[in-house]
C-alpha cells in the first residue's frame, strides 16, 4: 500500500559532500561486476522540472487519498480540474542526464532494470527497457467500475469540450503551481465538469496508485523478481518515506543483498545501507559513470 510513514521524517538538506567524487567512485566499485537493480524516487525527476512531496526544499503538500477520491464527487471534481492542467506539464517534461545514464547502464549490462515510484514516464522516455512503474503512470485512465483503459490524451479532449476556456480562465488568476502526481495547485474548481466512463458511465481515475491504495500485485511481483535476481540494490532520489518503495530495500537487506543510496539528505535506509552518497542525482550518477 502507498502509505506515508509519519513515524519517520526526512531530514533537512545537508551541505554538499566534499568527498563526492570519492563516494561516487565507491559506488562505481559496488556496481562493477554485480547485477544491480535501481529503485528511483522523485529526486531523480526534479531536475526535469517535476516537483516532489518531501524533498528538502519542497513546500508542505497534502496529496489526495484514494478514499477521498472514490468517496466524494467534490474531491474527484477538484482532482480532475487540477489534473487537467498539471498532466500536460508532466507530458512535456523530458528525461535528464540521470535518466539517460540509467538507460545506458542497462544497455551496457551494468544494471538489470529500474523500479520507479514516479508516474512521469521519464525512464521510459529515456530508453529504459526493463522497468516497473510501481505507482502507475499519468498517461492512462481506468474505469473503476468496468476496467476500461483509455489514453489520457483522449480524456483531455473530452474535458476540453466540457470545460471550454477553463485553462485560460485559470491562467488569468496568476501563475499555476504544478504539483506532484500530474496535477496542479488550484483553489477554485467548483465549475469544472467531469467525464464518466464512455462504456458504463462509471468513475474514471488516473492509472496512478493514490495514497491509501494498494499497489497492484503484478507490479509488486515484478519488482520483487528484479530485487531477488540482483546482488545490489541502488536507491536513487528517494527518501523512502513511502512503504511501497521501502519494502524492496527491506527485502534486499533481509537476504543479505547490499544497498547503496544516492539522495539529497538523510533517508529511511541510511542505517541499513552499505554506502550512502549525499548529493544531486545527476551529479552523482555522472561522476559514477566516469568512474565505471
Per the annotation, where are the binding residues for Zn(2+)? 143, 146, 197, 200
Contact 16, 279 (CB under 8 A): yes
User: Active site residue: 78, 84, 89, 135, which one?
Assistant: 135
Any alpha helices (H) in the chain, and if so which ranges? 20-31, 66-71, 73-92, 97-107, 122-126, 152-162, 166-171, 217-228, 243-254, 281-291
Q: How far apart are CA 96 and CA 48, in angstroms?
A: 6
Residues of the binding site: 143, 146, 197, 200
Query: Which residues have a Cβ under 8 Å from the Cβ of 80 and sit 6 or more positions away?
Result: 159, 192, 194, 195
Cell of 25: 567512485
Q: How far apart are CA 71 and CA 205, in angstroms?
A: 13
Identify whether 78 is a catalytic site residue.
no
Report the first-to-last Cα separation within the chain, whole angstroms.
36
Catalytic residue set: 135
Amino acid at each position: 500500500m502507498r502509505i506515508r510513514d509519519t513515524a519517520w521524517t526526512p531530514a533537512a538538506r545537508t551541505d554538499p559532500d566534499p568527498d563526492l567524487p570519492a563516494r561516487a567512485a565507491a559506488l562505481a566499485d559496488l556496481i562493477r561486476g554485480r547485477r544491480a537493480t535501481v529503485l528511483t524516487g522523485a529526486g531523480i525527476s526534479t531536475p526535469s522540472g517535476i516537483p516532489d512531496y518531501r524533498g528538502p526544499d519542497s513546500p508542505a503538500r497534502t496529496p489526495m487519498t484514494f478514499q477521498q477520491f472514490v468517496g466524494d464527487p467534490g474531491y474527484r471534481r477538484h482532482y480532475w480540474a487540477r489534473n487537467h492542467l498539471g498532466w500536460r506539464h508532466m507530458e512535456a517534461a523530458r528525461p535528464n542526464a540521470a535518466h539517460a545514464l540509467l538507460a545506458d547502464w542497462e544497455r551496457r549490462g551494468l544494471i538489470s532494470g529500474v523500479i520507479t515510484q514516479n508516474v512521469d514516464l521519464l525512464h521510459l522516455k529515456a530508453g529504459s527497457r526493463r522497468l516497473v512503474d510501481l505507482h502507475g503512470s499519468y498517461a492512462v485512465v481506468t474505469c473503476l467500475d468496468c476496467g476500461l483503459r483509455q489514453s489520457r490524451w483522449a480524456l483531455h479532449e473530452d474535458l476540453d469540450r466540457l470545460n471550454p476556456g477553463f485553462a485560460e480562465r485559470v491562467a488569468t488568476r496568476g501563475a499555476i503551481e504544478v504539483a506532484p502526481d500530474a496535477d496542479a495547485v488550484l483553489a477554485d474548481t467548483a465549475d469544472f465538469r467531469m467525464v464518466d466512463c464512455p462504456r458504463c458511465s462509471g468513475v474514471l481515475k488516473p492509472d496512478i496508485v493514490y495514497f491509501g491504495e494498494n499497489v497492484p500485485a503484478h507490479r509488486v511481483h515484478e519488482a520483487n523478481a528484479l530485487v531477488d535476481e540482483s546482488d545490489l540494490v541502488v536507491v536513487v532520489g528517494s527518501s523512502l518515506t513511502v512503504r511501497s518503495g521501502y519494502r524492496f530495500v527491506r527485502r534486499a537487506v533481509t537476504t543479505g543483498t547490499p544497498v547503496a543510496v544516492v539522495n539529497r539528505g538523510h533517508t529511511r535506509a541510511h542505517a541499513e545501507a552499505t554506502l550512502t552518497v549525499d548529493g544531486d542525482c545527476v551529479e552523482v550518477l555522472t561522476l559514477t559513470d566516469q568512474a565505471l
